[in-house]
A and B are shown apart, each in its own frame.
Chain A
Amino acid sequence: DQQVKQNSPSLSVQEGRISILNCDYTNSMFDYFLWYKKYPAEGPTFLISISSIKDKNEDGRFTVFLNKSAKHLSLHIVPSQPGDSAVYFCAAKGLTGGGNKLTFGTGTQLKVEL
């Protein structure tokens, strides 16, 4: 079963506008969430994270929002830039087992158009 879901396989946004990427999870034992960006032929690169005790974390153009009751998080990129075009993965860490292993969603391909 897919414990972390990214239901939008792709998203297209104009340069300068806001990009909103969504992620839903089913396991209430997840306590830490991360977003990664991935370019072709490269490994995922860490972007931003949030603990389950918070509802917002901001870092420059990137903001992550967490709604625990809805088991939903989102990544906002403002303003979007062409260099942001990549695949974005949502990942979650559980409270128990596997050390700090991460469970990933299937990714959303973001395309920022000029």
Chain B
Amino acid sequence: GAGVSQSPRYKVAKRGQDVALRCDPISGHVSLFWYQQALGQGPEFLTYFQNEAQLDKSGLPSDRFFAERPEGSVSTLKIQRTQQEDSAVYLCASSARGPGPRHRYTQYFGPGTRLTVL
């Protein structure tokens, strides 16, 4: 079946612009995660949804970052007033409810959106 898709794949923004990044998770996956990956680093957790509920946003670096998943499927990560330090690859991942730990804990990643802020 279809995997996780993200759009756009590449985004160039001028400093101060707002951007919106979209994630379409695997159909039926309850959990959705956003990660930020800086160059040469591993992905870092930003926020987590279970269905439409945002249960953890502890990784969002500032109040300029906002995520939503209003109907429990598609999610949007919005960054307001972008800064150069926001340049990174933004990864979305989804996981199923179960059964078994492998199904619950394995996250399937999209290709990412590479954001460059000039």
* A interface residues with partner B (beta carbon < 8 Å): 4, 32, 34, 36, 41-46, 49, 51, 89, 91, 93, 97-107
Contacts and interface: CB of A to CB of B under 8 A. Distances in A.
A85 B21 CA distance: 30
A46 B107 CA distance: 7
Interface stretch (B12-20, B44-52, B61-69, B70-78): B44-52
B10 to A, nearest CB: 10
B101 A98 contact: no
Given A43-B4, A43-B109, A99 B56 contact: yes
A32 B108 contact: no
A45 B43 CA distance: 13
Interface of B: 4, 31, 33, 35, 40-45, 48, 50, 55-56, 58-59, 91, 93, 95, 101-102, 104-112
A11 to B, nearest CB: 16
B104 A45 contact: no
Nearest to A41: B111
Given A43-B110, A100-B31, A32 B91 contact: no
A66 to B, nearest CB: 14
B83 to A, nearest CB: 23
A46 B108 contact: yes
Given A32-B105, A34-B107, A43-B91, 15 more contacts: A41-B111, A43-B109, A43-B110, A45-B109, A49-B101, A97-B58, A98-B55, A98-B56, A98-B58, A99-B55, A100-B48, A100-B104, A102-B33, A102-B43, A107-B42
A102 B107 contact: yes
A101 B56 contact: yes
A99 B50 contact: yes
A104 to B, nearest CB: 3
A78 B70 CA distance: 45
A36 B104 CA distance: 16
Nearest to B4: A43
Contacts of A106: 40-42
